[in-house]
Structure 1
Amino acid sequence: MEVDRLINNVCAALAFEDAEFLDQGGQKYVLKGKLSGAPSVAKIVPVIQGPNGEVTLKRAQREVELLSAVDSDRVVKVLTDAIEIGDPTEAVCWVEEFLDGEDLNRTLNHRWKESEVWPLLHDMAEALTACHDLQVVHRDLSAGNVRMMSNGRFVLMDPGLARHLAKSALTGGFQPGTPGWRSPEHVPGGDPVPASDVFALGILAFYALSGAFPIEPHCAQHEYDLALVERQAPSIATLVPEVSAELRTIIDTCLNRQPARRYMDGSELKVALETLGGGQ
């Protein structure tokens, strides 16, 4: 299906008005427009016929299902059901709330102050708590999936690769995740758990403060995988000596190589932040 015709069909199916192209990333097209007069974004995922297309369709449907179930201001809200376009299905689409600001990967071009990192940790711990309470592991908490709002708050997006712990994973033995932002459990043969999301958040905080990854991803895949499994990330204090003891404890615990020695989920991390972070 040609892109222009696809967009026209999507807008008609969603009753999405004043659409303009906003972004393209991964497998999605993103449009900005209005739904019932309110600023919104439409997301479109093309579906290629065949087994891979079936997986793509199910992932998109699951993303909308999860977003509909999560009730948190720190997780993007979905405004419609997932709607299939074409027969056979050529794309699936839905509408989400419009988030101003920009993705985190566009704000990490300078080292953040400690006072900027605490809100990131607090907001993402709240977002993860909302997911983990539903037994959902995000599995791709990367800089591109966190939105930094103009008011300084942070919102978690795109749980399309998430896994419900009580259900079988669509991805089988393959563990998704963005290089640089993966946990040891993302290595093939591993099993991402809520503590894996905590590890990824630790990477975000580490990178924001230092401008470096705790485990360097720019190497051969097998070398990166081996480092994730066998190498303990350095303490953030080795790169940022001036970091407070409280923030060092939070980040270093998030980045423990062994999941049992991290905060086990968003809720436990949230309690630690409230205890150590105080009014930050």
Structure 2
Amino acid sequence: MNVPQLSTEACAALGFENATWLTQGGQKLVLKGTISTAPAVAKIVCIDPGANGDITLQRAHREVELLSAVESDRVVKVLTDAVEIGDPVVAVCWAEEYLDGEDLRASFDSMWEEPDVWLLLQDMAEALTACHELEVVHRDLSPGNVRRTSDGRFVLMDPGLARHLEKTALTGAYQPGTMGWRSPEHVPGGNPVAASDVFSLGILAFFALSGQYPINPHGDPQAYDRALVEQQAPRISTILPGISLELGDIIDRCLSRQPARRFLDGAELMMELERMDPDR
């Protein structure tokens, strides 16, 4: 099935109107339009024949199921069920709310001020709390999966690689994440947990402030994996001596090599952020 025909069938299945092309990457096509006059995006994931296609289909259904269950303004909202196209299935599609703004890849062109990083931590802690309360680990908290909207707030997106801690037969344990934004538990043989998302959020905050990775991902991938497991990230104050003590302590704890020494989940991080209240 060609792309125009696939887009037409997906729009008809979802009740998606006024569709225009937004982006394409890998197996996913994204359209912008409306659902019942509300701004929305339609996501269409192509399904290859065979076992890999079955995994992709399961992952898409899991993403929509998770988004439907999460109740947080800091997590993108899903507007429809996942709908399969074709027999045999050639694609699966669904609609989500349209988020303006840009993902963090665009924002990381320059270094941030501390108030913006506090807000990133607060909004993502809230988003992770909503996921972790459902026993779900996002596992790919990277710049492409966080949207900075026009009002300056942050929204978590694309939990398609998430792992449900109570449904490991479906979701599996190992997920490599995105190079540069991984936790030590992302290394093969590791077991990502809620604290792994906290580590990845710490990397986002560290990079936003300094323009540097706490653990260098460039070069040999195996060396990067070893560094994640064996090396402690430097204290951010060694890179930015002028950073506030409170923010530095939060980021350093997020980046603790041992999960038990981090904030254990989004809720514990959110409680600490509320206690510190940088706007006092």
TM-score of the alignment, normalized to the shorter chain, above 0.5: yes
Give SS of 2:78's match: coil
1:46-96 Cα distance to aligned partner (Å, 9 max, x none): 000100000000000000000000000000000000000010000000000
Match of 1:149 in 2: 149
Return the offset for 1:170.
Answer: 4.0
Sort the Cα spacing of 1:243 and 1:169 in 2 relative to 1 into closer, same or farther, 3 A: farther
In the aligned structure 1, how far is the partner of 2:206 from the partner of 2:25? 25
Question: Is the CA contact 1:233–1:255 (under 8 Å) kept in the aligned structure 2?
Answer: yes
Question: Is the CA contact 1:118–1:277 (under 8 Å) kept in the aligned structure 2?
Answer: no
One-letter code of the match for 1:61? H
In the aligned structure 1, how far is the partner of 2:171 from the partner of 2:79? 26
Question: Is the CA contact 1:114–1:209 (under 8 Å) kept in the aligned structure 2?
Answer: yes
Return the offset for 1:25.
Answer: 2.7
1:111-141 Cα distance to aligned partner (Å, 9 max, x none): 0011110000000000000000010000000
In the aligned structure 2, how far is the partner of 1:165 from the partner of 1:192? 9
Match of 2:27 in 1: 27
Return the offset for 1:169.
Answer: 4.8
Alignment RMSD, CA only? 1.1
Asked if residue 263 in structure 1 is aligned to residue 242 in structure 2, the reply is no
One-letter code of the match for 2:20? E
Task: Give unmatched runs, 5+ long, in structure 2.
Answer: none
Question: Is the CA contact 1:85–1:92 (under 8 Å) kept in the aligned structure 2?
Answer: yes
Match of 2:80 in 1: 80
Sort the Cα spacing of 1:169 and 1:236 in 2 relative to 1 into closer, same or farther, 3 A: farther
One-letter code of the match for 1:106? A
User: Counterparts in 2 of 1:120-139, with a 5 A limit?
Assistant: 120-139=120-139
Give SS of 1:23's match: strand
Task: Give unmatched runs, 5+ long, in structure 1.
Answer: none
Match of 2:113 in 1: 113
Match of 2:91 in 1: 91
Asked if residue 103 in structure 1 is aligned to residue 103 in structure 2, the reply is yes
Question: Is the CA contact 1:173–1:188 (under 8 Å) kept in the aligned structure 2?
Answer: no
Give the number of aligned pairs.
280
Asked if residue 191 in structure 1 is aligned to residue 191 in structure 2, the reply is yes
In the aligned structure 1, how far is the partner of 2:106 from the partner of 2:124? 17
TM-score normalised per structure 2: 0.98
Report percent identity of matched pairs. 67
Match of 2:17 in 1: 17
Match of 1:227 in 2: 227
One-letter code of the match for 2:256? N
In the aligned structure 2, how far is the partner of 1:36 from the partner of 1:68? 18
Match of 1:48 in 2: 48
Bigger Cα displacement from structure 2, 212-221 vs 200-209: 212-221
Return the offset for 1:176.
Answer: 2.9
Question: Is the CA contact 1:138–1:163 (under 8 Å) kept in the aligned structure 2?
Answer: yes
Return the offset for 1:221.
Answer: 1.2
Return the offset for 1:171.
Answer: 5.5
Return the offset for 1:173.
Answer: 5.3
TM-score normalised per structure 1: 0.98
Give SS of 2:168's match: coil
Question: Is the CA contact 1:76–1:97 (under 8 Å) kept in the aligned structure 2?
Answer: yes
Give SS of 1:119's match: helix
Match of 2:213 in 1: 213
Give SS of 2:84's match: strand
Give SS of 1:241's match: coil
Asked if residue 4 in structure 1 is aligned to residue 4 in structure 2, the reply is yes
Give SS of 1:41's match: strand
Return the offset for 1:217.
Answer: 0.7
1:155-193 Cα distance to aligned partner (Å, 9 max, x none): 000000001111115454532300000000000000000
Asked if residue 37 in structure 1 is aligned to residue 16 in structure 2, the reply is no
In the aligned structure 2, how far is the partner of 1:54 from the partner of 1:147? 29
Question: Is the CA contact 1:64–1:82 (under 8 Å) kept in the aligned structure 2?
Answer: yes
